[in-house]
Amino acid sequence: MDWAQALQQEAQSRVERLVELTVELVRIPSVSGSEEQVVKRVAEWGRSAGLDTRLIAPDLTQLREHPAFTPPAGEDYVGRDDVVVTVGRPDGPTLALYAHLDVVPVDPNTVWNYDPWGGDVVDGRIYGRGASDCKGGAAVAMVVCEILRDLAPPMRGSLQAQFVVEEEAGGNGTLAAIMAGVRADAMIQLEPTGTRSLIVSNRGAQFFRIRVPGVEGGVEYQHSLASAIDNAMVVVEAIRAYSLMREATIQHPLYSGLGGAETPMLGETIAPLAVCRFRAGEWPSTVPGEAVLEGTIECMPGESLGSVVSDFEAYLERVASQHPFLSTHPPVFERFGLMLEPAAIPVDSPIVTAISRASAQVLGYQPSVIGGGGSDLRLPVLYADCPTVLYGPSGGMIHSVDEYVEIDQLLRCLQVILATTCDWLVE
């Protein structure tokens, strides 16, 4: 039997199922830290489908001891389990599909044209928070499992579908699966890259906080006081200059082009660095004595995140040393919160070749192999010796108002994943 052709024919018949599952998942609010209900639903799906379904409860005590630990989104992980579903035989190679079940919050001050938790289907799109990032990807993984169950092709190994929590908050869900011994020979993280992009790396990232001093006093004395806001603006402008310098000097083959409609996850900046939060003052008529800046600095695969941040801190110290007030009242630099290590796999890795070949076969084109921003790709690569890529259905407005996933992208991604699975696992 031509299993490759059979799988593709089955994919075409499952569009309604893809839409049904995506809509159902979107309608379950699952902001990072509050994934209990969506975890329960996915676990119920796996069991009712007759699939080998395992729950992994992240252990906060163990996670804290791991170098890749990030501060959790919730107080604990009660009810917030990873769900791992397996199809096939236990011996032989394993291909893992991955989707995170958590989403970013919906800003109550924004106005959506569609209910962010409604899963509205309009003009070939499914709207809602997480539709693109990445409940559409989760639906693809679920349908792949259902098709393999229904057609039962002879397999020389197993397909593993990992549905994890807390990706948006730093990756402890993915890390928990690794620490529990979940392993695969390769992994496809179904993030919203679009089917014309295949991401094989992630940038490193570190949150930073800078406390900039000043002299507090009544606004009547403003001209004789060193306002923390004025001093902080010196630091902000210095950071802006440093960011432009990084942009002008960094070169990396995976980041040679800027993002666009076909690469929504790449963005417009090669190595982001910016202040994204600014707090100062306790009273509208009092010059503040301290300003607190918070932001992020990122680095490229091949760079040491620690060294990049240290160089950045040393630069800020030099800037402060040349300022009349800050030279004797230096800002305090602090690393905190999110810390993502950079990671990459070779562009000729077998999983990259397999997806590229599958795409050419079923879609008529090969995806561009590029680098990406911060993601959980780093964790299986660095801590599970698992070559990992990002490849999944895209739409638009990721993390934004009226987020959506394109139904055509759901089908295209399903087709490529099935062809890759056939290449990797079917005898």
281-336 pLDDT per residue, tens: 999 999 999 999 999 999 999 999 999 999 999 999 999 999 999 999 999 999 99
Pairing of strands 290-299, 273-280: antiparallel
Give tens-digit pLDDT for 144-167: 999 999 999 999 999 999 999 999
Domain co-membership, 281 together with 368:
no
Give tens-digit pLDDT for 26-65: 999 999 999 999 999 999 999 999 999 999 999 999 999 9
> Distance between CA atoms of 389 and 349, rounded to whole angstroms?
10
Beta bridge mates, 85? 53, 161
How far are the Cα atoms of 13, 27, 116, 132 from residue 23, in angstroms, in the given order?
Answer: 18, 6, 11, 11
Residue matched to tokens 């801590």 = 383
Residue 11 burial (10 A CB sphere; 0-12, 13-18, 19+): buried
Tokens of 305: 């995140």
Domain co-membership, 47 together with 89:
yes
Domain co-membership, 67 together with 209:
no
The residue out of 340, 359, 389 marking a domain boundary is: 340
Residue 279 burial (10 A CB sphere; 0-12, 13-18, 19+): exposed
> Distance between CA atoms of 98 and 393, rounded to whole angstroms?
13
Q: Which residues of 104-127 are buried (b: 16+ CB within 10 A; e: fewer)?
A: bebeeeeebebebbebbbeeebbb
Domain co-membership, 59 together with 138:
yes
Domain co-membership, 42 together with 111:
yes
Tokens of 383: 């801590």
The residue out of 319, 340, 361 marking a domain boundary is: 340
Q: Which of 379, 393, 377 is nearest to 201 (CA)?
A: 377
Domain co-membership, 191 together with 219:
no
pLDDT band, residue 256 (cuts 50/70/90):
confident
What pLDDT was estimated at residue 305? 96
Output the domain CATH number for residue 186. 3.40.630.10
Tokens of 330: 């230096």
Domain co-membership, 419 together with 361:
yes
Q: Give just the sign of the alpha carbon dihedral 74, 75, 78, 84.
A: positive
pLDDT band, residue 265 (cuts 50/70/90):
low
What pLDDT was estimated at residue 401? 95
Domain co-membership, 196 together with 69:
yes
Domain co-membership, 227 together with 251:
yes
pLDDT of residue 242 exceeding 50: yes
Rounded to two decimals, the pTM is 0.92
Using an 8 Å Cβ cutoff, are 180 and 318 in contact?
no
- Give φ, ψ of 3 to 5 degrees: -70, -35
One-letter-per-residue 3-state SS of the chain: CCHHHHHHHHHHCCHHHHHHHHHHHHCCCCECCCCHHHHHHHHHHHHHCCCEEEEECCCHHHHHCCCCCCCCCCCCCCCCCEEEEEEECCCCCEEEEEEECCECCCCCCCCCCCCCCCCCEECCEEECCCHHHHHHHHHHHHHHHHHHHHHCCCECCEEEEEEECCCCCCCHHHHHHHHCCCCCCEEEECCCCCCCEEEEEECEEEEEEEEEECCCEEHHHHHHCCCHHHHHHHHHHHHHHHHHHHHHHCCCHHHCCCCCCCCCCCCCCCCCEEEEEEEECCCCCEECCEEEEEEEEEECCCCCHHHHHHHHHHHHHHHHHCCCCCCCCCCEEEEEEEEECCEECCCCCHHHHHHHHHHHHHCCCCCEEEEECCCCCHHHHHHCCCCEEECCCCEECCCCCCCEEEHHHHHHHHHHHHHHHHHHHEC
> Distance between CA atoms of 426 and 419, rounded to whole angstroms?
10
Domain co-membership, 9 together with 147:
yes
**What is the residue type of 158?**
S
Output the domain CATH number for residue 303. 3.30.70.360
Domain co-membership, 209 together with 168:
no
> Distance between CA atoms of 9 and 38, rounded to whole angstroms?
30
The residue out of 285, 315, 340 marking a domain boundary is: 340
pLDDT of residue 264 exceeding 60: no
What pLDDT was estimated at residue 259? 44
Number of domains in the chain: 2
- Give φ, ψ of 164 to 5 degrees: -115, 160
What pLDDT was estimated at residue 313? 98
Domain co-membership, 282 together with 335:
yes
Give the residue numbers spanning the domain of 301.
204-340
